[in-house]
Amino acid sequence: MALSLKDRVRAVAAPTAEQPTVEATVTRTADVPQQSTPDELHSSAQGESGDVADIALDWLERYGEEFTKALPSHIDNGVFLAAVRAALPGLVRCTPASLLQALLTCARFGLVPDGRHAVIKREGRTAVFVPMAQGYVELMYRSGRVGSIHVGMVHEGDEWNYEPTAPAPLDFTHKPALTKSRAERGEPILAYAFAWMASGARSQVIVLTREDAEEIRDEYSRAYQRAQESGKRDSYWHTDFDAMWRKSALRRLHKVVPMSAELVALLAADDAGDEGRVQVVHAPDPEVAVLAAEAERAYEAAEGSQELADAALPRKSPRTRRTQPTRSSRKSRGARSRKGARR
């Protein structure tokens, strides 16, 4: 029985030496001699077609129907594939299964791998989907409950104040010293993130010092640990510490803003990729995500209608309310009955 693409990708573990790379796969499509080495394949493919990434994109487009199914309706296929095309030159040495896994996961979250929302990173011969800070922001907005999200960094020369016991928004203020030079503004000392809800309420402010970020990196990032042990020092914590610092603040913000099934799944996929595990199983099923969102809206609507119903419930008139007769009323009733009896 033929397996679907999703089933094949889901079954993929870490690539082995026997697994071909995308580069080898796509160059065989171009009738490059089988005995060529990977480097020769790369050169031959470029010589025949001008760009090995174009061949890889043609290869990926065979699975266009899978990407169409995976991408949310608000993401244009052309925009997504254009971003993939730009990223492919650095990914052609990855195994085809891992590349499909990473791209399908990225597509199902509705994030474009443009370097801002998400990145497809090569680790050895494995392609890994990495959501970036803007990707987390995008999914928080999609919940419909978040009005705006603010993420920033406080530098040594900035004016700022953090007083958790003060009422919002006076508990945290930040005035960047934008008129100063970079040297005068100094190094970043804090990363922060907070959200204003659609209801007008503001979330807790998440504040992370550099020491906080380093503790998160050292304790939780397996990619950082692998890069340290191998001596390559090529993890994002090595190459762009400040971006990971901001992303860590956003990841903590999710604990104090309304959660969505998509956001929970994104966190799981992010962690799985960092740990070297298969990510596609953590991607949200589009139909399940839609049903979950509809159920949440229905629940909120039911709560709201119940509140209105309670407020509009008719009150019984004092005339129809059954009460125990008072002594005076009993006396007057007895007098009337005696008078009737005398008649």
User: Mapped to the 3 state alphabet, what secondary structure does the chain carry?
Assistant: CCCCHHHHHHCCCCCCCCCCCHHHHHHHHCCCCCCCCHHHHHHHHHHHHCCHHHHHHHHHHCCHHHHHHHCCCCCCHHHHHHHHHHHHHHCCCCCHHHHHHHHHHHHHCCCCCCCCCEEEEEECCEEEEEECHHHHHHHHHHCCCEEEEEEEEEECCCEEEECCCCCCCCCEEEECCCCCCHHHHCCEEEEEEEEEECCCCECCCEEEEHHHHHHHHHHHCHHHHHHHHHCCCCCHHHHCHHHHHHHHHHHHHCCCCCCCHHHHHHHHHHHHHHHCCCCHHHCCCHHHHHHHHHHHHHHHHHHHHHHHHHHHCCCCCCCCCCCCCCHHHHHHHHHHHHHHHHC
In this prediction, residue 14 carries a pLDDT of 42
Mean pLDDT of the chain, nearest integer:
77
Higher pLDDT, 231 or 283: 231
Q: What is the pLDDT of residue 21?
A: 58
- Give the mean model confidence (pLDDT) for residues 224-245: 95
pTM for the model stands at 0.70
The pLDDT, as a whole number, for residue 295 is 53
pLDDT, position 258: 83
Tens-place pLDDT, residues 103-158? 999 999 999 999 999 999 999 889 999 999 999 999 999 888 899 999 999 999 99
Q: What mean pLDDT is predicted for residues 277-294?
A: 72
Residues 207-232, mean pLDDT to the nearest whole number? 95
- Checking if the pLDDT of 340 tops 60, the result is no
Confidence band for 169, pLDDT divided at 50, 70 and 90: very high
What is residue 41's predicted lDDT score, i.e. its pLDDT?
Answer: 27
pLDDT tens readout for residues 47-101: 334 466 677 777 777 888 888 889 998 888 889 988 998 888 888 888 888 998 9
**pLDDT tens-digit map of 53-66:** 677 777 777 888 88
Where is pLDDT greater, at 178 or 334? 178
> At residue 35, does pLDDT exceed 50?
no
- Inform me whether the pLDDT recorded for 342 exceeds 90: no
Give me the pLDDT at residue 174, please. 97
